[in-house]
Amino acid sequence: MRSRPWTELRALAIAAALALSAARPAAAFPVFFNGVGGNGVSATTASLAAGAGFDQFTAPVQPAAAFGIVIPDPEVLSFHISSTPSVTHPTTAQSRWTVTNGGQADLDDAWLVFFTPVTYTKNKVGIDLQPGGEWALVKLNAAGVDYFYPAVFLGDIGASDSTTFLMNHVVGETLAQQGSTFILPKYSVGMLTGVPLPEGSELVLLAAALAVVGALRRGKV
């Protein structure tokens, strides 16, 4: 009888640790724009990303211009040029993006959504989703077809304020050059607001932990 409280605490601690470790992916996951018509990523890729721990959610998305968003050309921070670029052996690069809220209203829990590349071959352009919870996939349905789009969490952006984020590119073909400068892909983008960082997986596991403790207390485990 005296050992049961310790057993309960141990079960709760283990389940809580699992919740924290499973709530966010442990490694980056590249997604290419191989969805229907080159829009977003395919359902298969989206399923693999979900299996790797990246959240998915459904929310209405509008063109970024509708929010007065201003996005200048990203700053290229680093790159590694593949001698024979392909989807399996892509050129990689990292850039810093600055997003300015040029509208009149504050934006709460905002996400920048990447619809499709407008340069290069669509299904050879991708984003290496990074762990940490800021990258996710947004699911939209149009005419009975599911579309999945990579999205990065920007948080709250006040009117006239700016925020930055890092993008990790993967490109499976030769990059264009302007002199000695390599040119990264450009994208059509959208925005959505009012969606906080998903925490569903963490809450589900914590609920399971509490259920285990409850069963222990009732003498069922």
Query: pLDDT tens digits, residue range 106-118?
Result: 999 999 999 999 9
User: Residues 127-138: pLDDT tens digits?
Assistant: 999 998 899 999
User: Residues 75-105: pLDDT tens digits?
Assistant: 999 999 999 999 999 999 999 999 999 998 9
- With contact defined as beta carbons under 8 Å apart, do 159 and 106 qualify? yes
Residue 191, CA distances (Å) to 107, 108, 188, 214 in order:
10, 11, 11, 42
Would you state the pLDDT for residue 219? 54
pLDDT band for position 9 (cuts 50, 70, 90):
very low
For the whole model, what pTM was predicted? 0.80
**Given the DSSP bridges, would you call strands 69-70 and 91-101 parallel, antiparallel or unpaired?**
antiparallel
Domain boundary assignment for the chain: 1-23+199-221, 27-198
**Architecture of domain 27-198 in CATH?**
Sandwich (2.60)
Would you state the pLDDT for residue 120? 97
User: Residues 167-205: pLDDT tens digits?
Assistant: 999 999 999 999 988 999 999 999 999 999 876 444 344
Instruction: Give CA–CA dist 130/26, Å, rounded.
Output: 9
